[in-house]
Amino acid sequence: MTNPFFEPWTTPFGAPPFDRIRAEHFPAAFDRGMADNLIEIEAITANPMPADFANTIEALERSGGLLTTVGAVFGNLVASLGDDGLQQVERDYAPKLAAHGSKVSLNPALFARVADLHGRREELAMAADARRLLERTYLGFVRSGAALDGPAKTRMAEISERLATLHTDFGQNVLHDERAWHLPLAEADLAGLPDFVRDGAAEAARERGLDGYAITLSRSLIDPFLTFSARRDLREIAYNSWIARGTHPGPHDNMALIPEILALRAERARLLGYALYADFRLADTMAGTPDAVGRLTGEVWQAALLRVDDERAALLRMAGADGLNAMAAWDWRYYAEQVRQSEYALDEAALKPYFVFENIQQAAFDTATRLFGLSFAARPDIATYHQDVRAYAVSEGDRHIGLFLSDPFARAGKRSGAWMSSYREQQSLDGEIRPIIVNNNNFAKASPALLSFDDAETLFHEFGHALHGLLSDVRYPSQSGTSVRRDFVEFPSQVYEHWLSVPETLQAYARHHASNDPLPVALMDRLLSARNFNQGFATIEYTAAAILDMDLHAHPDPASLDIAAFERETLARIGMPAEIGVRHRPPHFQHLFAGAGYAAGYYSYLWAEVLDADGFAAFEDAGDPFDPGAAARLKLVLQSGDSADPMELYVGFRGAAPGTAALLRNRGLAKAS
């Protein structure tokens, strides 16, 4: 059997030949990729010439090409498809890949060459991007344990290998629970549900071979069900099933995994000289320290608590008409929608027909055209990995910029949530290589596919990430696109959300799916005036998760934790309102435990919101949301990747460092603060 990873790809733009790639191709491809990479590392370390930037740092940048390609394709497919074959490969190879990574990052001869160069960096004539690459490469080796003694290095490798297995198990356990559960509904159970929810539930039932309707644990179905269902008993069942993901005793119980994950991370931090994992993680961020994060979350938390008091009172007045004198967590969204309809004459069921998926995606494309000069051409000739996926060639004038894949809909086996990733990253070290970027969302599939306003914002958010990858214009792979500090990576995505709310955008693209009539101006005005409605709730549920993250990773003895008790105690200490559930409970908090990407870093969305609120003000100050000058400065940020310090990039765009005032104002919390 021919393995497509072992031959050149003649597809348009070098896209992966998805129609030929199978789960059984990955083991051999991973094995060869790791073997080739070790040969390349040996060539660097065996070089008799003294270390210089070309024969060490640039050689390291060139290494691992096959392994990078295979890993990118595999990582994306296992998240987007999640079939049994891919999951088995993931379980088998996660520890093997971690062990391989340790062989490279803990290689003493390789680190000696990097450290030698780093020690002589003041003597070397290097361009700014090369100097930064050297410094960041050296720091990466140190933070991986390369400077430790032999036994400590061995332990670091063991920790990495074990964490890779635990992260894989955690993510697969959440996916198992999401695939296993559904709430069947008969016609009599649909009270209060608008047509778009019924259509989504009917599609979910058909996908599972069921008659009638079904609510699944996709956020695109759970959220609207909790918002509109008049059946409080069914809302309770759905909500409790949603928050129970990862908690079921047995082989898929994540509660048993979390203390070990935390303990291993804490041990790694101590080996590297840090008292706590949070200290280690924050040392290489814009925030810098847990105290800085705590000041930000504390300021926002207190302002949001005051706002929630007013929101709760309004909701209780509405709930009183139904005989309730207290609300539970499965009631808040339902009564918030009732209050929104009452106070703003804004009914999401009436609003949603104007937000057709295809139109909103086109709005995201056209916004990028106006801001950055990009154009998007559908390429149905390019094979994709699922029938829902669409490919687009992205250009700037006559220049090919990259390939964009859109994977918008929820399905069984697909990881929940929304994310951007890449199949290939931009670089120009040995000639121009343009990126292949994918946006995954989990919108409810229906005909037509209608989005909530929050869904539409999510689409713009992920497309902002995509633009960060597509516009990347750097030399070195390690500096490409979104390869930036964790608390900067959300800035491009969150600032892009603002363009959805520009009246010009709404008037042009928010069109009724049946009549094509534009969103009525009066309805648009009510939508925009209600943007800060329920912001106390939204801020509390997010910030509580960020605080939980920091507290878990700042615990001195995480191995001893009873996670459920710790969660209850933390939420009680900060005064979590009983009627609001934390956005991500630990047992399904994949940002933290299905990988280390956002571990001690979930605050990043809030940190980036400080940047994006202040950043969009550059366009507001110019009096034009498409101001060419501000757009050119923002484009430079997106093009620069990690080739410069993120705060330097931001100040170059905005002229000064940001403060929290714009964030609080945008969330409607400024008066409360």
Report the distance separating Cα 476 and Cα 407, nearest Å: 28
Angle at 172 between CA 167 and CA 175, to 5 degrees: 135
CA-nearest of 579, 573, 497, 569 to 541 is: 579
Question: Do 331 and 235 contact (CB within 8 A), yes or no?
Answer: yes
Contacts of 499 (CB under 8 A, 6+ apart): 367, 371, 460, 505, 625
Amino acid sitting at position 446: A
Cis peptide before 448 (omega within 30 of 0): yes
Tokens 């990078």, located at residue:
68
Q: How far does CA 672 lie from the centroid of its chain?
A: 29
Buried b (16+ CB within 10 A) or exposed e, 430-451: eeebbbbbbbbbbbbbbeebbb
Q: Which residues does residue 431 pair with via DSSP β-bridges, in sequence order?
A: 429
Amino acid sitting at position 224: P
Report the distance separating Cα 449 and Cα 225, nearest Å: 16
The pair of three-digit structure tokens given for residue 43, joined into one six-digit string:
């060539």
The pair of three-digit structure tokens given for residue 365, joined into one six-digit string:
């494309």
Amino acid sitting at position 516: N
| Secondary structure (3-state) at 429 | strand
Angle at 203 between CA 186 and CA 82, to 5 degrees: 120
Report the distance separating Cα 352 and Cα 350, nearest Å: 6
Report the distance separating Cα 93 and Cα 75, nearest Å: 11
Active-site pick, 462, 497, 541, 579: 462
The pair of three-digit structure tokens given for residue 181, joined into one six-digit string:
């559960």
Q: State the alpha helices, DSSP H only, in 106-248.
A: 108-119, 128-144, 150-180, 195-207, 219-228, 232-243
Say if strands 399-409 and 436-443 run parallel, antiparallel, or are unpaired.
Answer: parallel
Q: State the alpha helices, DSSP H only, in 193-352.
A: 195-207, 219-228, 232-243, 258-271, 277-282, 290-320, 332-344, 348-351
Q: What are phi and psi of 367, to 5 degrees?
A: -65, -40
> CA separation (Å) from 528 to 346, 461, 621?
10, 18, 19
| Secondary structure (3-state) at 427 | strand
Report the distance separating Cα 290 and Cα 53, nearest Å: 35
The angle, 0 to 180 degrees and rounded to 10, between the axes of the packed helices 84-105 and 65-80 is 140
CA-nearest of 440, 159, 357 to 277 is: 159
CA-nearest of 349, 350, 359, 363 to 516 is: 359
Neighbours of 358 (CB within 10 A): 13
Please give the span between the terminal C-alpha atoms of the chain, in angstroms, as a whole number. 65
Q: Can 462 be counted among the known catalytic residues?
A: yes
Which residues are catalytically annotated?
A: 462
